[in-house]
Amino acid sequence: MISTTQIDNHAADSLFRILDHGKKKSIESDKFLDKLARTGILSDDPRIQELLNIFRVKEQEKRKSPTISSSEFNEILKQNALIKKSLTENLVIPDFEFFCKEVEDIFQETLKNTDGKVADYIPQLARVNPDHFAVSICTVDGQRFSFGDSKVNFCLQSSCKPINYCLALEELGEYKVHCHVGREPSGQSFNELALNSKGLPHNPMINAGAMMSCSLIDRENNTADRFDKVSKTWQALCGDKPVSFNNAVYLSERQTADRNFALAYFMREKNAFPEKTNLTETLEFYFQCCSIESCTNDLSVAAATLANAGTNPLTGKGIFKSSTVQNCLSLMLSCGMYDFSGEFAFKIGLPAKSGVSGALMLVIPNLMGISIWSPRLDQVGNTVRGVEFCKRLVERFSFHQYDSLTGHCKKINPRRKQNELMASKVMELIRAASFGDMDEIYRLQAEGVSPNTADYDGRTPLHLAACENQVEVVKHLIGNGVHLSPKDRWGNTPLNDATRFKNKEIKAMLEQAIKIKRNGKANVLAAVANN
């Protein structure tokens, strides 16, 4: 018997051979890291720091680029499942290099768009260079890539709202939170002086609702600790990368806050806040959250944490419960893009949240988080390039949440290897033929799976239908003009199978069809299928 360790060793040897191009029986650490980076595992990834330490020690000993022997490589693979997953192309986006090239193309196209104007209600936003553009991606397996000004900080503004909502949910649960805030899109601008029919903010993604979340978070504690809680959460979401605080933005926000104060008084008049809420403290807390700063490089990891149901892909820390994230993403989908939310949900079909700094957080559940930043805004306050980038992305890739319904033939699905995908569809068709599942057969054929395809053993849908006495399927396949006598790897044709399993009706049908075909009467073939 072969043990699993032996199998692992074989797998390790094969991978080593792929990396050891020069057949020197060793791999240079630089080349190894380069290969990992091409699969999206970057050198600041906390999950490969132990490996990097080994390289550093080797480097100090030898004073040159360290190498890894086959047995060391074997050991590395045993210790670190991520590396094996990455080298065997088993991460969620197997061909990450290809995917990034496509995204870069979209980035370059979108860069040309210089429409819109930067927010100017406070000088700190008005002064930002409007030409900045950054996009960062992080998959649920922690594969990362960035384009443009991805290390330049900007303030979160409204993109802080989903996280404040999550914090309130974690602390108080869905019922209590929604005693104070609704979950319907408002259909109005983010700071509209409007509440719902119960006198509550429409949802947590607009100003009134975000202030309400702030009033709920850690309310027994002092203001400093409450802010600490929020900024520590952002830090954890960003993969333990520190976030900063822009005090000038905070002071300006506080100084130009008439509308937000008006909203807060309106809510107080309607008894929307929990008892004993200090209005000024709540508003200041909200402005502080808006003034937290980070860059797309780190914020993409936060978005990926939401895509990954609340567990950070890089640190493995569980930050939010999956039910919290589900609620948050539902509201991001219906309310996250101001009064463009309905259009965004229709066209892009993904949860997102924007902010007046030009920030946009896009979540593709179970796949990736994307952080975009470009300060020029459209009429409703969304980043112009951000929205265009999302549109182009969904035009090219099957990321719209309902793309699965349409078969998304023309769009790229980077989730799995294309040949793997086709192989699995062939298997599905063969299975459907053996069970007589006509609906599934029609669906798969509509997706472009040929009824003449065979599995590894040369078994076709016609073989399986003939064995399992699926008369209806055989009729359908003959009517579709499939090859009537394909041989499997044991040399058997569907007719042999029908004879062997004594499926008389099918046997007669096949014999008749073969005869007609031999006489060159193709249209009579359809008649066989129809009778």
Q: Which residue is nearest to ligand GLN (CB)?
A: 158
The verdict on 288 binding ligand GLN (CB under 6 A) reads: no
Residue 272 near ligand GLN by CB under 6 A: no
**Residue 310 φ/ψ region, left for φ over 0, alpha for ψ in the -120 to 50 degree band, beta for the rest:** left
Pick from 214, 356, 482, 525: which binds ligand GLN (CB under 6 A)?
A: 356
Give the nearest distance from C-beta 265 to ligand GLN in angstroms. 15
Find the binder of ligand GLN among 191, 296, 327, 334 (CB under 6 A).
191
Q: How many CB atoms lie within 10 A of CB 13?
A: 12
3-state secondary structure of 87: helix
Among 190, 227, 273, 285, binds ligand GLN (CB under 6 A): 190
Residue 169 as a binder of ligand GLN (CB under 6 A): the answer is no
For ligand GLN, give the closer residue by CB, 141 or 253.
253
> Contacts with ligand GLN in 364-393 (CB under 6 A)?
381
User: Going by DSSP bridges, is the β-strand pair 144-148/134-139 parallel, antiparallel, or unpaired?
Assistant: antiparallel
User: Is there binding between residue 124 and ligand GLN (CB under 6 A)?
Assistant: no
Return the closest-CA partner of residue 370 out of 168, 149, 140, 110.
140
Distance CA 214, CA 230 (A): 10
Taking residue 61's Cβ as centre, other Cβ atoms within 10 Å add up to 9
- Closest to ligand GLN by CB, 192 vs 428, is 192
**Among candidates 139, 45, 133, which has minimal Cα distance to 99?**
139
The CA distance from 66 to 359, in Å, is: 41
Of 348 and 356, the one with the shorter C-beta distance to ligand GLN is 356
Nearer to ligand GLN, 206 or 477 (CB): 206
| Window 393 to 452, contacts with ligand GLN (CB under 6 A) | none
Q: What is the dihedral of CA 485, 486, 491, 495, to 10 degrees?
A: -40
Q: Is residue 290 near ligand GLN by the rule CB under 6 A?
A: yes
Helical (H) or strand (E) element with 164: helix 161-177
Q: Does 355 bind ligand GLN (CB under 6 A)?
A: yes
Binding status of residue 204 toward ligand GLN by CB under 6 A: no
Would you give the binding string for ligand GLN spanning residues 145-164, x where CB under 6 A is met? ------------xx------
CB of 156 to ligand GLN, least distance (A): 8
Between 260 and 470, CB nearer to ligand GLN: 260
Question: Please, what is the minimum distance in Å from the beta carbon of residue 100 to ligand GLN?
Answer: 29
298 lies in the site for ligand GLN, by CB under 6 A: no
Sheet holding 292-294, edge to edge: 154-155, 292-294, 244-245
At its nearest, how many Å lie between ligand GLN and the CB of residue 381? 5
CB within 8 Å of 238: residues ≥ 6 apart: 294, 298, 299, 301, 302
For 249, how many CA atoms within 13 A lie in the half-sphere containing its CB?
24
Across-strand partners of 354? 360
* 337/482 with CB nearer ligand GLN: 337
Binding site for ligand GLN (CB under 6 A): 157-158, 190-191, 207, 253, 260, 290, 355-356, 381
